[in-house]
Amino acid sequence: MRGEDKIVPELPEVETVVRDLRPHLTGRRLTSVQVGSQPLRRRWLAEWGPRLAGRRVREVGRRGKWILIHLQGELHLVIHLGMTGQLCVMPVNEATAAHTHLVFGLDRCTKELRYRDIRRFGSATLFEGQEALDLFFQESRLGPEPFDLDPDYWRERLAGTARCLKAVLLDQHAVAGVGNIYADEALFAARVHPAAPARRLSRTRVARVHNAVRATLQAGIDAQGASIRDFRTPDGGYGSAQERFAVYGRAGEPCERCGTPLRRMVIAQRGTVYCPHCQRF
């Protein structure tokens, strides 16, 4: 499998992490935080550790590509995996891997939550109060979740832009959580060219893309994400979505539908693979 230069965990990978972490963290207390010497994309503030200590985890959720750990007292730990971030719950007596930047102690003192990130493009930020959390996402202008995507909103969003379809799918302001991998796969499933002007799509094609995005993401979740380079599940396992890719990373190989060699082009600075026969303007 040939991957792209930049592979960021997308919605299926993040959702997999959330679902795996949930039974390990829900109801547990965070007891301490150890911070590494190398800063992440957002610097961890020293005062956050004491505020977290003793707080029980109420819920573990997701918004777009963000992991949300909701704590007692309206504290919200928001984590982004960046390109190479990994979250895992490990026994305290197991050696800490290199590039581990945050270690959260858990009550009972037998396991701890570790955040490892080789390239340090990820982040962990503490927000106090629901209002502060809501404001963060409002200022980020994060779009709706794909599974909550209203068909009328989607149709109007596409009709109102001069950009090509794949560029819209990659825009987190338009729809949250979709990235390069699943955009390619969804457009192949919908039989729509990734460079097609979004505002020129027929209602039928708009609906096909709408359905294909959700179906492709769900399939990715069911496969526990794609382990192409750095992504691992919290227990150290591998996702299997990459074993079913129809186009992503397969430029030059035959289309599984028609046998035509798949082509690669660059859209929105991202490598894009498509079938010139099955996916037409």
Question: Is the separation of the CB atoms in 66 and 140 below 8 Å?
Answer: no
65 tagged catalytic = yes
Alpha helices (runs of H) in the chain, residue ranges in sequence order: 11-25, 48-52, 130-140, 151-159, 165-170, 180-190, 203-222
Q: Which among 62, 65, 116, 205 is annotated as catalytic?
A: 65
Q: Which residues pair with 280 in a beta bridge?
A: 192
Question: Is the separation of the CB atoms in 194 and 164 below 8 Å?
Answer: yes
Query: In the structure encoding, which two tokens stand for residue 65, read together?
Result: 């590509």
Which position has the token pair 């030059």?
252
270 tagged catalytic = yes
145 tagged catalytic = no
DSSP 181-250: HHHHHHHHHHTB-TTSBGGG--HHHHHHHHHHHHHHHHHHHHTT-B-SSS---TTS---BGGGG-SSTT-
151 tagged catalytic = no
Q: Which among 28, 205, 232, 270 is annotated as catalytic?
A: 270
Catalytic residues: 9-10, 65, 270
